[in-house]
Chain A
Amino acid sequence: MEQIGILEGRERQVLEKKSGVAQADIACDTSSLSGSVSQRACVFCGSRVVLYPVADAIHLVHGPIGCAAYTWDIRGAVSSGPELHRLSFSTDLQEMDVIYGGEKKLYHSLIELIEQYKPKAAFIYSTCIVGLIGDDIEAVCKKVARETGIPVLPVHSEGFKGTKKDGYKAACHALMKLIGTGSTEDISKYSINILGEFNLAGEAWIIRQYYEKMGIEVVATLTGDGRIDAVRRAHGATLNVVQCSGSMTWLAKEMEEKYGIPYIRVSYFGIEDMSKSLYDVAVKFPDRPDIMEAAKRIVSEEVKTLYPSLQKFKKALTGKKAAIYVGGAFKTFSLIKALRSIGMSVVLAGSQTGNKDDYARLKEMCDEGTVIVDDSNPVELSKFILEKGADLLIGGVKERPIAFKLGIGFCDHNHERKIPLAGFIGMYNFALEVYQSVMSPVWQFAPRKGGSL
């Protein structure tokens, strides 16, 4: 790695895969170095993204205005009904509140909100400052819940108290308080919850449809197109199917412990993983062979139309190289496989929040010479992209303009995806998007990777 300058103190978070050489594990699960231009966010961000898609609850951000303003409707988590989650509510704490405490303001805000919107529940997010001034938000929430008769749930998401992952956990903690409070009557034995699917661009609907076609009842989707009543009865499901390892595994473990519901981890990206996520669920219901048969039928029908339609993309994209830098590591695994299925190789793979096991698996999956990074930054990303000659970057909002400035294609696999990328249809959409971006005629006018016109 001598040829690439990397941030001092970050050497252990970057490695280039080499066979036959002993390589230390990648260091991860650490907080970012002070002074780095990190692409990561905070605890609050983690909680906010997980709970955000619950559409019939109010989401009140207790803190100064920024935290509410920056998270106002920035995630395309679609709802089939109520859309309370797309509004922005804040206590807009001022200097006097910081000095004298914000509990009163929180109380009034909640009462006003609940009266105005008649939500099914309320989530109250603490921000950095609330953690410092010591507002007892638990007490306020209890009081309001008593007075209004709806669940009012504090989310302990003070930004500085850990990483985004701790925010996921705080969100799951709030969900755990809801789960188990609804009736499980009439829930089929052949039922699941879909965890860690946020219905970006309507993806949860696609996934749900596959399972329902197999004869399985989906009790709750956590949290895509989420409803409080569904969450409350989620403990009635037989199996938890967990996507997005970072955000919801904790919840699955808690539910296993408390309600004895086993869980499996799946991914809905790419043909291979999508098919597996149907089979893995079917296997759990051995007394109903028709479920497995239905799964096989869905896969075979979908693949029959999908496979031929991918070939033209594959023909054009074979030999092209991709760089992946996304939030969770689990997604990276699927993306590597999906890219391979359209002829592309991966030269850089990384995530903001992967853990040790994730990186071990990532290394195993990657080709020789692939660079693996944890918590990367724009300098590193652009250097590796140039050096490895990537033609495509897959990332989120902050990575997009870097790709375009370097003159390479880009695919948003984060909050700003505009079309569903999950499911079989999602694989087609993904291939199409990658093809359109990589093969676009605009690149002929753009000096490429530092080259001249």
Chain B
Amino acid sequence: MLLRHTSKEVKVREGLTINPAKTCQPIGAMYAALGIHGCLPHSHGSQGCCSYHRSTLTRHYKEPVMAATSSFTEGASVFGGQANLLAAIDTIFAVYDPDIIAVHSTCLSETIGDDLQQITKKASDDGKIPEGKYVIYASTPSFVGSHVTGYSNMVAGIATQFAESTGVKKNQFNIIAGWMEPSDMREIKRLAKVMGINIVLFPDTSDVLDAPQTGKHVFYPKGGTTVDELKSSGDSLASLALGSISAEPAAISLEKKCKVPFETLDIPIGLTATDRFIMAISKVAGVTVPDEITADRGRLVDVMCDMEQYLHGKRVALFGDPDQILPLTEFLLDLSMKPLHIVSGTPGQKFEKQMRQLLDERSPETNFKSGLQADMFLLHQWMKNEPVDLLIGNTYGKYMARDEDIPFIRFGFPILDRIGHSYFPNVGYGGSLRLLEKILNVIMDRQDRDALEEKFELVM
């Protein structure tokens, strides 16, 4: 009953966002920077920003999340934050001793006009950056884009500021991870290994945000893409960018700077997106698909066939981030389910075009909105008008699922009330099988719960 105030009648709103299906850029930049080995993310803004991002990431991962802040005061906002950032760089290298500081801006520092490029250059000119250490940056004002574009900007920043081209190509490929979980990144690395190709995956939060219990609090866990790997990305044969919003900009800048050709793919969630991913690797690296992967695929298809009867025509509402919900929608359609309502708070013309195209071809009646006012309030209103059998989205979906009494699968960011996302991937054939299992479980549990006694079946 928490959302009992949600009205059925959908009205145009002129400014208001209710229950957002997105958050702001800086947290994405912080998450991306954690995927670089020995890197301390730095929030150039008020203390609260850094604290909120760390808390949210900590709740999502149940892991310590380290990041520093410029701790803006009133003075800094009048005179500019340069002095704060320069002092911060001194403090951080002296005390926390990272290999890299990854600075991202905030609404505050952007509005007062701090220029991160100029300030980091000054830090370098003034000899504040010790030999062999780096300060990189990304511009991520909170009043533009969403957490996804913040991630994307930082990943592009990482690519441009580290990649070098020596003129001699290396027998390796770049895989640029769109926003995904450490478990997904681990699975991407495994798949590349099974395919027999050498890759540089960046960013890579595996072994950072899924670190084992060791009895120590390690400031810089062992995971993360190394500086050497990042530098060498300029000599790679090609880049595969997983996600047109969260990964492609980095691939574009790598192509510009080091002439590394690229291809943009969806994050391999679901059967067909994984097919495209595997085939792209096979084609670009000239390798055949090993039997192990073909068998994985066969098992996924087998379950899809076995259980089709339980999924056919089931109506789904989903919300989340573009690069994840696009392949997810395709997977649902492949499963003969019916994605009825789709919302993403992240704006993006390319995403809208891709999603529209997919829906026009296969599900023209679907309600879809992204960007401003594409929030959970709207999604809930749509659900009230046209009910669904399943809701998929981040933790905040639990209110709607409870109010409408429908099954719910946690997918996306943030997930504050369950574990699993850091450990079990959604990508690849195996990950998709797990996702399928989750979908089946909640739907079949519901069928059991609601079945009349005489129709309560043992064998399903």
Stretch from B104-112, B159-167, B223-231, B304-312 at the A interface:
B104-112
List A residues 7-24 near B (Cβ within 8 Å): 7-9
A407 engages B213 (CB within 8 Å): yes
**Per-residue A-contact encoding for B62-87, CB less than 8 Å = 1, 0 else:** 11111111111110110000001101
Interface residue A302 (Cβ < 8 Å from any Cβ of B): no
Shortest Cβ gap from B9 to chain A (Å): 10
**Per-residue A-contact encoding for B23-56, CB less than 8 Å = 1, 0 else:** 1101100000000000010100111111111111
B18 engages A87 (CB within 8 Å): yes
B17 engages A64 (CB within 8 Å): no
List B residues 1-28 near A (Cβ within 8 Å): 1-3, 5, 7, 11, 13-20, 22-24, 26-27
Shortest Cβ gap from A45 to chain B (Å): 5
Shortest Cβ gap from B387 to chain A (Å): 21
Of the candidates A67, A95, A449, which one forms a contact with B144 in the assembled complex, judged by CB atoms under 8 Å apart? Answer: A95
Interface residue A354 (Cβ < 8 Å from any Cβ of B): no
**Which residues from A are CB-within-8-Å of B52?**
41, 45, 66-67, 70-71
Category for how many chain B residues contact A: 35 or more
Interface residue A113 (Cβ < 8 Å from any Cβ of B): yes
Interface residue A289 (Cβ < 8 Å from any Cβ of B): no
Interface residue B216 (Cβ < 8 Å from any Cβ of A): yes
Of the candidates B11, B17, B59, which one forms a contact with A92 in the assembled complex, judged by CB atoms under 8 Å apart? Answer: B17
Of the candidates A127, A379, A398, A404, which one forms a contact with B213 in the assembled complex, judged by CB atoms under 8 Å apart? Answer: A404
* In the complex with contacts A32-B69, A63-B107, A406-B217, A88-B58 CB distance below 8 A: no
Stretch from A100-108, A208-216, A230-238, A357-365 at the B interface:
A100-108
Distance in angstroms between the alpha carbons of A71 and B59 in the assembled complex: 13
List B residues 167-222 near A (Cβ within 8 Å): 211, 213-219
A160 engages B396 (CB within 8 Å): no
B18 engages A88 (CB within 8 Å): yes
Interface residue A27 (Cβ < 8 Å from any Cβ of B): no
Distance in angstroms between the alpha carbons of A44 and B51 in the assembled complex: 12
Of the candidates B42, B107, B215, which one forms a contact with A448 in the assembled complex, judged by CB atoms under 8 Å apart? Answer: B215
A132 engages B108 (CB within 8 Å): yes
**Which residues from A are CB-within-8-Å of B77?**
128, 131-132, 160
Interface residue A129 (Cβ < 8 Å from any Cβ of B): yes
B24 engages A65 (CB within 8 Å): yes
Distance in angstroms between the alpha carbons of A275 and B54 in the assembled complex: 37
A447 engages B213 (CB within 8 Å): yes
Of the candidates B24, B64, B73, which one forms a contact with A402 in the assembled complex, judged by CB atoms under 8 Å apart? Answer: B64
Shortest Cβ gap from A407 to chain B (Å): 5
B14 engages A105 (CB within 8 Å): yes
**Which residues from A are CB-within-8-Å of B3?**
87
A106 engages B62 (CB within 8 Å): no
**Which residues from B are CB-within-8-Å of A397?**
55, 58-59
Of the candidates A40, A63, A66, A116, which one forms a contact with B47 in the assembled complex, judged by CB atoms under 8 Å apart? Answer: A40
Distance in angstroms between the alpha carbons of A88 and B108 in the assembled complex: 22
Interface residue A351 (Cβ < 8 Å from any Cβ of B): no
List A residues 81-136 near B (Cβ within 8 Å): 83-84, 86-95, 97-98, 104-106, 108-109, 112-113, 116-117, 127-129, 131-133
A116 engages B5 (CB within 8 Å): yes
Of the candidates A39, A69, A159, which one forms a contact with B46 in the assembled complex, judged by CB atoms under 8 Å apart? Answer: A159
Pairs across A and B, CB under 8 Å, 19 listed = A9-B91, A35-B95, A38-B69, A42-B51, A43-B46, A72-B20, A73-B396, A88-B19, A89-B18, A90-B17, A91-B17, A93-B107, A104-B15, A378-B64, A400-B62, A405-B213, A405-B217, A407-B213, A446-B215
Apart from A65-B24, A104-B15, A400-B58, what are 7 other A-B pairs with CB-CB below 8 Å?
A8-B95, A35-B90, A35-B91, A72-B20, A94-B372, A407-B215, A451-B215
